[in-house]
């Protein structure tokens, strides 16, 4: 008995200190981004975009949002921005083939260029996201907004879809930017 107690104590002490060491090594990197996104944080993120309610609606339209962390939410915003910008690009292309008004044709051509660039920024953002380069992700999201603005600025269109698509694309890149900023700052 006299020998069992001390050896039990020292072995459990060893075990506990090992666990503690493992925990201390893992937690600084893991806990930073592993927290599930709550509605409060989602609200805060969307409040920093130009349209809080549409932002919430868009992010929550993806079922992954309910159970993901900030890192996962970044990719959701990237995927949503990609889908909308790609859709806009496709619509502009198809309008180009049908437009007879030379003024409108020029505007569509200009916007096609903007959206080709925006889509490539979004896909670059995804590459940076995958290697956790959050500063570059932030820069790419910001570039995406600039590209979309060059189409917004030029358009006073008799276009049936462009103003709406511009707003939606702008909002999603704006959500991407807000999330990227939080990741870059190390916030949850
Ligand atoms: C963007 O959409 C295109 C076309 O659907 C797809 O091929 C590409 O993988 C998407 N990229 C991202 C980052 O979602």
Residue ranges lining ligand 1, Cβ < 6 Å: 78-79, 82, 86, 123, 126
The percent helix, strand, coil of the chain (3-state, each to 5) is: 80, 0, 20
- Pick from 122, 123, 141 the residue to mutate for probing ligand 1's pocket: most ligand atoms within 8 Å of its CB: 123
**What are the CA-CA distances from residue 182 to residues 69, 139, 168 (Å)?**
12, 13, 22
- 32 pLDDT exceeds 80? no
The alpha carbon of 22 and the centre of ligand 1 are apart by a number of angstroms equal to 38
Give the rounded percent of residues in the chain with a pLDDT score beyond 90. 67
Closest protein CA for atom 5 of ligand 1: 83
The alpha carbon of 96 and the centre of ligand 1 are apart by a number of angstroms equal to 23
Q: Where are the domains of the chain?
A: 1-32, 36-185
The alpha carbon of 81 and the centre of ligand 1 are apart by a number of angstroms equal to 10
What is 36-185's CATH number? 1.20.140.40
Per residue in 54-95, pLDDT (tens digit) is 999 999 999 999 999 999 999 999 999 999 999 999 999 999
- 22 pLDDT exceeds 70? no
Closest protein CA for atom 11 of ligand 1: 123
Per residue in 99-150, pLDDT (tens digit) is 888 888 999 999 999 999 999 999 999 999 999 999 999 999 999 999 999 9
Are 58 and 171 in contact, with CB atoms under 8 Å apart?
yes
Tokens encoding 57 = 């609606």
**What does pTM read for this prediction?**
0.82
The alpha carbon of 26 and the centre of ligand 1 are apart by a number of angstroms equal to 33
Q: Which atom of ligand 1 approaches the CA of 125 most closely?
A: 13
31 band by pLDDT with thresholds 50, 70 and 90: very low
The alpha carbon of 10 and the centre of ligand 1 are apart by a number of angstroms equal to 56
C-alpha 55/C-alpha 177 separation (Å) is 12
Q: Could you identify the residue written with the tokens 């694309």?
A: 169
C-alpha 82/C-alpha 149 separation (Å) is 16
């Amino acid at each position: 008995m006299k020998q069992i107690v001390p050896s039990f104590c020292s072995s459990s002490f060893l075990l506990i200190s090992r666990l503690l060491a493992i925990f201390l090594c893992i937690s600084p990197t893991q806990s930073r981004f592993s927290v599930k996104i709550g509605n409060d944080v989602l609200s805060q993120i969307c409040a920093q975009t130009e349209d809080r309610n549409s932002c919430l609606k868009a992010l929550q339209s993806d079922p992954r949002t309910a159970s993901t962390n900030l890192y996962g939410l970044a990719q959701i915003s990237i995927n949503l921005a990609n889908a909308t910008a790609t859709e806009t690009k496709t619509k502009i292309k198809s309008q180009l083939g049908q437009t007879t008004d030379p003024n409108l044709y020029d505007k569509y051509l200009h916007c096609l260029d903007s959206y080709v660039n925006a889509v490539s920024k979004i896909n670059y953002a995804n590459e940076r996201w995958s290697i956790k380069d959050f500063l570059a992700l932030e820069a790419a999201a910001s570039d995406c907004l600039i590209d979309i603005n060059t189409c917004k600025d030029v358009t006073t269109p008799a276009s049936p879809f462009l103003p709406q698509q511009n707003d939606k694309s702008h909002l999603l890149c704006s959500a991407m930017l807000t999330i990227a900023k939080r990741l870059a700052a190390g916030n949850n």
